[in-house]
Amino acid sequence: MSVTTDETVLRSEISGPVPVEKPQRRGFLAAGHYIPYALLLPAALSLVAVLAYPLYSLFDLSFRNVNRYAYLVNPSLAKYVGFDGFAKVFGDGQFWEVVLRSVYFTVELVVLSMVLGMLFALLLNRVSGWVKVTAITVMMFVWAIPALVTGTIFRWLFASNGGVVDYVAYLVSGNESVKHYDWFANPTIGLYVVAAAVIIWGALPFLVLGLNAALTQVPKELMEAARLDGASPFQAFRHVVIPVIRPFLMISAALSFIWDFQVFAQVFSLRNTSPEPGYWTIGTYLYEKGIVASKYSDSSVISIAMIVLMLAVLVFYIRQMLKIGAQDR
């Protein structure tokens, strides 16, 4: 039996707490703090090795005056022109028209695909098991179809002669005039309706499956607590579900913007490999300048502009992810 006296308490107060020895730094590279960087280093070096020369060639080509004739017939004409190539491209009104059209088109695609993907993901959580498995199988099949094939199929569906969409519209409305409606006569309808449908159709499987997996990470206890507090389904979704799945929303939105901004194959096949100027987005415009017109220097300037725009989106995305990470700490 131990007895604590006033003298013992006084000594402990004078001496203070027992000093704790600092743990020794063991392991590979200071207690293993730098192991993730060491493991990422080979991948970073591989990316630099693969991308360094193409990027150098791209920038070098942008400062030259190179086309098919200068490249194949008279290489001496391919001389350095400095920033004249940039001034030529950026001074072209058609370039800025294509950029604005690409931005509007991309915003439409990202918003519609995210909203529809969320609605289908929520619906997928409410169906029975066999229906969910069937829907996932069908979506995986849709995702596996090449973009060129999807564009060709939709071109047949929306054809003015024998198109399925026009025939169904005729059966529903009974109007004979819609039986041969040309969806592609007006580029605004052809691009923002038909081409958007093609691209969203191919993007939905990834978004639905990803959002469905993210929704399973929402704790049921939080949803039950929200319902007990009197929150409506919309309020619970906004204040409980969205904050939990916000990181995946940011990732999917950023990836969708990058993919949709440089879309090419769907529009290319939808217009039977010859898209009109009204259908030109930045991807098809780059194809027309670089491949069809063989203006290699101009196409390299357009490519650099695409890279800069994508970097701007990536910087915004990284900043948002850092804010989310700081809030979770």
Tokens of 43: 């991948």
What pLDDT score does 156 carry?
92
- CB-hemisphere CA count at 13 Å for 178? 12
Domain 83-328, classified CATH 1.10.3720.10, yes or no: yes
Tell me: pLDDT of 32 over 70: no
Q: What are phi and psi of 271, to 5 degrees?
A: -100, 25
**Sign of the dihedral defined by the CA atoms of residues 226, 230, 235, 239, in that order:** negative
Q: What is the pLDDT of residues 240-281, one digit of tens each?
A: 888 888 888 888 888 899 889 989 999 999 998 889 999 999
What pLDDT score does 187 carry?
93
CB 284 within 8 Å of CB 275: yes
- What is the per-residue burial (b if ≥16 Cβ within 10 Å, else e) of 244-277? ebebbbbebbbbbbbbbbbbbbbbbbbbeeebee
What pLDDT score does 99 carry?
93
What pLDDT score does 325 carry?
64
Q: What is the pLDDT of residues 192-242, one digit of tens each?
A: 999 999 999 999 999 999 999 898 888 888 888 888 888 888 888 888 888
Tokens of 218: 């929402």
CB 257 within 8 Å of CB 313: yes
**Segments of 104-200 assigned E as strands:** none
For the CA atoms of 291, 294, 298, 299, the dihedral, rounded to the nearest 10 degrees, stands at 20
Using left for φ > 0, alpha for ψ between -120 and 50, and beta otherwise, residue 28 falls in beta
SS3 79: coil
Choose among 247, 250, 252, 254: nearest CA to 328: 247
Q: What is the mean pLDDT of the chain?
A: 84
Structure confidence at residue 104 as a pLDDT band (50, 70, 90): very high
CB 246 within 8 Å of CB 320: no
Helices first, then strands: H and E counts in the chain:
16, 0
0.85 exceeded by the pTM?
A: no
What pLDDT score does 273 carry?
87
Q: Sketch the domain layout of the chain as residue ranges.
A: 83-328
Q: What is the pLDDT of residues 57-77, one digit of tens each?
A: 889 888 988 877 666 666 667
Percent of the chain with pLDDT over 70: 85
Tell me: pLDDT of 146 over 70: yes
Tell me: pLDDT of 97 over 90: yes
Spatial separation of the C-alpha atoms in residues 240 and 243, rounded to whole Å: 6
Choose among 203, 225, 191: nearest CA to 118: 203
Spatial separation of the C-alpha atoms in residues 255 and 249, rounded to whole Å: 10
Q: Which helix (H) or strand (E) holds 320?
A: helix 296-328
Q: What are phi and psi of 64, to 5 degrees?
A: -110, 175
What pLDDT score does 71 carry?
66
Structure confidence at residue 23 as a pLDDT band (50, 70, 90): low
Tokens of 159: 């054809």
Tell me: pLDDT of 12 over 70: no
* Least confident window among 13-17, 140-144, 178-182, 185-189: 13-17
Mean per-residue pLDDT for 100-115? 94
